[in-house]
Amino acid sequence: MDVDMDGEHLIYLYCVTAQPPDLASVEDQPDELYLVREAGLCAVVSRVEASQFEPLNLCRHLEDLDWVAAETTKHERIVEAVMRDRCVVPFRFGTLFHTDENLMMQLRTDAAPFQTLLEHLEGKAEWGVKAYCNTQALEHRIRAHDGPVSDLNEAIRLAPPGRAFLLTKKREDLVRATLARRVDHYAEQVVDALQAVSVQMRMNKILPPGTTGRCDIMILNTALLVANHEVRTIVDTAKTLNERYADQSIVVECRGPWPPYNFCDPPRTVANG
C-alpha cells in the first residue's frame, strides 16, 4: 500500500456524511480535523501519528487505559458533534487509512451502500435500552406469593421428614424454573413495547454484573434506531415499563441519543484501507 506523504502519519476516519458538516462547531477539535470528499460523500478525518496508531504500536497503547479513555472520548466527542446537524455513518475507534487517496477509493467503491444507509438513517438516532432484574428480590416474591410454591410450602410443613426432603427439592426446582420463566416473560414484554416505538432493534450481548456497575442482573440489552420525532415516545415508554414492573424488581434504563453504530454494519466493512 501507499504510505502517507511524510510517512509519519495515518488517516483516522471518524464518520461519513452526505453533506459537509461545520467542523468549526466541534469544540476543542484537533487542529488536523478536515474533510475528504469523494462520490458525493464527506469523510471527517484527521491525521494521526503512525507511531501511535500503526498496528503494533496501537496494540501496545490499548493496554494503557488512560490513553484509551482519552482517545475514545475524543473520538466520540467528534462524531457526536458532527451528528448534531448532520446524519452520520459513524466508524469505530481506530479506523485507519494510509492515505487520503486510499479513503477516496473506498468511498467511490462503496458510494451506493453509503448513500442508501445515510438515507435510511436520516432523521434518526440510536438509543440504548437495557433491562435489569433484582433476581433475589423477585425470587423472594415468588417464594412468598406464587400459588404452586405456596402449596408446596404447606405440603412440606405437613409431610414426614423423608417426603419433606423430596418436596423441598421439588420446591427449589420450581422456584428456579418460575424465576427463569418470569425473567424471560418480562424481557419479551419489554422488547414488544420497544419494537412498537422504534424503527429497528438490535439485540446485544447480555453483560455480566461486574461490568455494568449495578448489583442486579442484566436481562436485556438492546440498541434501538429511533426517529427523532419519536424521542419523547421512547422515553415515556421506558418510564411506563419501569412503573409497570417495579413490583417485579425490574428496572428499564433508556439512554441516548447516540450515533447509530449498531445500524451501520455494511459500510463499516470498508475500514482499514
Band of residue 270 on the pLDDT scale cut at 50, 70, 90? very low
Euclidean distance between CA atoms 19 and 86, whole angstroms: 7
Q: Examine the pLDDT at 267 and tell me if it is beyond 70.
A: no
Q: Domain range holding 223?
A: 126-141+182-261
Is there a single domain that holds both residue 105 and residue 188? no
Nearest to 252 by CA among 141, 128, 124, 138: 128
Is there a single domain that holds both residue 206 and residue 255? yes
The gap between the terminal CA atoms of the chain, to the nearest Å, is 9
Is there a single domain that holds both residue 87 and residue 132? no
In a domain? residue 172: no
In a domain? residue 177: no
Is there a single domain that holds both residue 103 and residue 187? no
Is there a single domain that holds both residue 105 and residue 225? no
The three-point CA angle 126-131-133 to 5° equals 170
Is there a single domain that holds both residue 131 and residue 257? yes
Q: What is the pTM of this model?
A: 0.83
pLDDT tens per residue across span 35-82? 999 999 999 999 988 887 877 777 777 877 888 888 899 999 999 999
* Average pLDDT of the residues of the chain: 88
Q: Examine the pLDDT at 3 and tell me if it is beyond 60.
A: no
Euclidean distance between CA atoms 49 and 12, whole angstroms: 10
Predicted local confidence at residue 269, as pLDDT: 46
pLDDT tens per residue across span 211-240? 888 889 999 999 999 999 999 999 999 999
Contacts of 7 (CB under 8 A, 6+ apart): 50
Euclidean distance between CA atoms 225 and 210, whole angstroms: 27
State percent of the chain over pLDDT 90: 60
Is there a single domain that holds both residue 118 and residue 55? yes
Is there a single domain that holds both residue 225 and residue 114? no
The cell numbers describing 82, all together, are 458532527
Is there a single domain that holds both residue 117 and residue 209? no
Residue range 84-113: mean pLDDT, rounded: 93
- Cell numbers 452520520 correspond to 88
